Amino acid sequence: MYRHIPVAAPSFVGNERAYVMDCLESTWISSNGPYIERFEESFAEFCNAKHALSCCNGTVALHLALLALGVAPGDEVIVPTLTYVATANAVTYCGARPVFVDSEPETGSLDPQLLERIITERTRGIVVVHLYGHPVDMDPVLDIARKHGLFVVEDAAEAHGAEYKGRRIGSIGDIATFSFYGNKILTTGEGGMVVTNHDHVAARVRQLKGQGMDLNRRYWFPMVGYNYRMTNIEAAIGLAQLERAEWHIARRRAIANHYASRLGAIPALVFPINRPWATNVYWMVSLVLNDDVAITRDCLMERLADAGIESRPFFYPMHIMPVYQHLVPDQSFPVAERLAARGINLPSSAALSESDVDYVCDQLLRIFRMSEGICGPCTVLS
């Protein structure tokens, strides 16, 4: 019997259906309606922040955040090279230049020790990405930012509920952004959120996402804005997800622990760490193959697929993307390149059963037993 285990899938275990039906019955289905305000207020409380402003996706959230902070053509914004392309794209949307920084090897997040050497007179800020659910070491980043008068944006698309030294991600930098795409820890299908403690920044985000309309004068437009709003139906789903946030986070952590208990002793695999100051929420259970493993990452993924198990590679680094190669034509980012070539994301959905995780582990163990000598050197980045 064929078995299929997706790498990610949403889990609806709360009031999602009831809230969506309420939207349909009330006819409030577009970008006005009571669930939008309820979701924003609840998410701000979840992040221990003053303001949360909904929008139509996580990329838009990044664009709004950078615009609200005044990023403009000619500016430079530091971003990790190992991230999803949206992080760099949002900088480009503003006419600014993304400046890439390498990763630190244990978490894959940007390495704070490399930041000062790439700051120039054009640098406006730093975007950190809490990669795959583990927080960035924020204190040294914030110290460097304050020293040079830079802003800090937290790209928390993958880290709903993660904590840094007891503080919720999203409340630490100047502004934070979240995605609620269907594979995220909390989902609205599509959707995003901008979170900040700064009143003036929040007001600018709210105006920009609503076509630039004056917040106190309807149909008066003193600036060029965008139609970046979330719908009431999406907010209804998001509110229901948020009401069960601790369940979603606990499930992710339990699944990661189950994988670790079955596979943690395998020399071929390096498991994600949990730094003492961090609470990792494991958006993905992200493993790295050791350099001396006979099988390549891509071969491993193919054999998992043959067993009905979906997996994902790590993100390609931004500096090898055709649209960004010209920014660093002669520069190497060795840590990010190695992680990208050897990293694999296993099925991580909160909906997985223990039997599902055991099946993935059994297949991985079988593949490693059979893999000696069947694959050559990994060439994914060549």
CATH code for position 194: 3.40.640.10
Q: Do 312 and 344 form a contact (C-beta atoms < 8 A)?
A: yes
Residue 380 covered by a domain: no
236 shares a domain with 255:
no
- Smallest Cα–Cα separation from 272: which of 127, 89, 126, 135? 135
Q: Is the dihedral of CA 124, 206, 90, 312 positive or negative?
A: positive
Contacts 24+ apart (CB under 8 A), 93-97: 93/63, 93/66, 94/63, 94/66, 94/67, 96/66, 96/71, 96/72, 96/124, 97/122, 97/327
Residue where a domain stops, chosen among 227, 243, 259: 243
Return the SS3 of 234: helix
> Do both 48 and 143 map to the same domain?
yes
CA distances from 313 to 114, 197, 241, 270 (A): 25, 35, 27, 15
If asked whether residues 71 and 133 sit together in one domain, one would say: yes
**CATH code: domain of residue 348:** 3.90.1150.10
How many domains does one find in the chain?
2
**216 plus 255 within the same structural domain:** no
Question: Would you state the pLDDT for residue 374?
Answer: 45
185 plus 259 within the same structural domain:
no
Q: Which residues are paired to 168 by β-bridges?
A: 163
pTM over 0.75: yes
In terms of Cα–Cα distance, which of 114, 146, 107 is closest to 130?
107
Look at residues 198, 222, 243 and tell me which one is the last residue of a structural domain: 243
Verify that 226 and 328 share a domain, yes or no.
no
Shared-domain flag, residues 211 and 85 = yes
239, 249: one domain:
no
Full domain range(s) for residue 226? 16-243
Say whether both 166 and 208 belong to one domain.
yes
Q: Examine the domain organization and report whether 36 and 62 are in the same domain.
A: yes
Residue with the bigger pLDDT between 161 and 3: it is 161
Highest mean predicted confidence (pLDDT) among 19-23, 261-265, 293-297: 19-23
* Contact call for residues 115 and 141 (beta carbons, < 8 A): yes
d(CA 6, CA 279): 25
Q: Are residues 220 and 257 in the same domain?
A: no
Residue 377 has pLDDT above 60, yes or no: no
DSSP 48-75: T-SEEEEES-HHHHHHHHHHHTT--TT-
- Domain boundary among the residues 243, 262, 282 is at 243
Supply the mean pLDDT for the chain.
95
What is the DSSP secondary structure assignment for residue 14, as one 8-state letter?
Answer: S
Per-residue model confidence as pLDDT tens digits over 51-108? 999 999 999 999 999 999 999 999 999 999 999 999 999 999 999 999 999 999 999 9
Mean pLDDT of 362-373: 84
In a domain, 144, yes or no: yes
- What is the percent of the chain with per-residue pLDDT over 70, rounded to a whole number? 96
User: Are residue 231 and residue 291 in the same domain, yes or no?
Assistant: no
